[in-house]
């Protein structure tokens, strides 16, 4: 089989539509949202990690354009929802717990935060972070504890950590 796609051997030679259908039966309840204000190159990393961690629904708030190179086509296996405004996004998630990850004053440490099964993890662009409007609407604002000299970690790395912690608390330790 000469299938050069970045898929597990189970899915080599399988059409995208069939892979999506199969993943939909196995996915987690976690959803991920990215506020796209800067066409941040980290978005591709977040999308790729979302695919790896079983996320089925990805929300992009703001600009529909983003650098897909880092996603390595993994967005094709997710349900990507585009929302022009924060209000459109909030209506779409229909009351699910919105957990915003940003290292802003008053954020709670990840180690002490409950992450319900029906959650949407929200990430902002590298630099500006999440808009004040969405931070105020979040059920929880969370920062990842750090122990070195840097003030922050890359948003793509933060998203991977956050998704794994959600998985650990909701699936792996069950």
Is-contact 123 89, C-beta < 8 A?
Answer: no
For range 125-149, the mean pLDDT:
94
Fold of 16-172: Alpha/beta knot (3.40.1280)
pTM value surpassing 0.95: no
Query: Which residue is associated with the tokens 């941040």?
Result: 40
- Residue-range domain boundaries for the chain: 16-172
CB contact at 8 A, 44 and 67: yes
Residue 38 pLDDT greater than 80, yes or no: no
- Statement: residue 141 has pLDDT above 90: yes
Task: Among 2-6, 17-21, 50-54, 83-87, name the one with the lowest average pLDDT.
Answer: 2-6
pLDDT of 63? 81
Q: What is the per-residue pLDDT for 171?
A: 83
C-alpha–C-alpha distance, residues 141 and 105, integer Å: 10
CA triplet 139, 70, 13: central angle to 5 degrees? 105
Give the strand pairing for 119-123 and 97-101. parallel
* Residue 54 pLDDT > 90: yes
Nearest to 162 by CA among 115, 107, 98: 115
Cβ pair 118, 90 in contact under 8 A: no
Q: CA 21 to CA 164: how far, in whole Å?
A: 23
Query: pLDDT at position 42, please?
Result: 84
Q: What is the pLDDT of residues 62-121, one digit of tens each?
A: 987 777 777 788 889 999 999 999 999 999 999 899 999 999 999 999 999 999 999 999
Q: Structure tokens of 4?
A: 């050069």
Which pLDDT value is given to residue 128? 87
Query: What are all long-range contacts of 48-51, with beta carbons under 8 Å and residues at least 24 apart?
Result: 48/72, 48/74, 49/156, 49/159, 49/160, 49/163, 50/74, 50/78, 50/159, 50/163, 51/75, 51/77, 51/78
């Amino acid at each position: 089989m000469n299938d050069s796609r970045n898929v597990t051997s189970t899915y080599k030679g399988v059409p995208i539509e069939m892979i999506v259908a199969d993943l939909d039966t196995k996915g987690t309840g976690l959803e991920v949202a990215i506020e796209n204000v800067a066409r941040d190159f980290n978005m591709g990393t977040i999308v790729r990690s979302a695919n790896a961690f079983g996320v089925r629904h990805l929300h992009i708030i703001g600009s529909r354009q983003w650098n897909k190179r880092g996603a390595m086509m993994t967005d094709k296996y997710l349900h990507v929802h585009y929302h022009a405004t924060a209000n459109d996004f909030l209506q779409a998630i229909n009351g699910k717990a919105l957990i915003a990850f940003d290292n802003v004053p008053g954020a709670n440490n990840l180690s002490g935060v409950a992450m319900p099964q029906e959650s949407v993890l929200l990430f902002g662009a590298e630099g500006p972070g999440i808009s004040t409007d969405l931070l105020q609407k979040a059920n929880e604002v969370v920062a990842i504890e750090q122990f070195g000299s840097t003030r922050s970690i890359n948003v793509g790395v933060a998203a991977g950590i956050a998704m794994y912690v959600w998985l650990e608390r909701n699936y792996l330790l069950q």
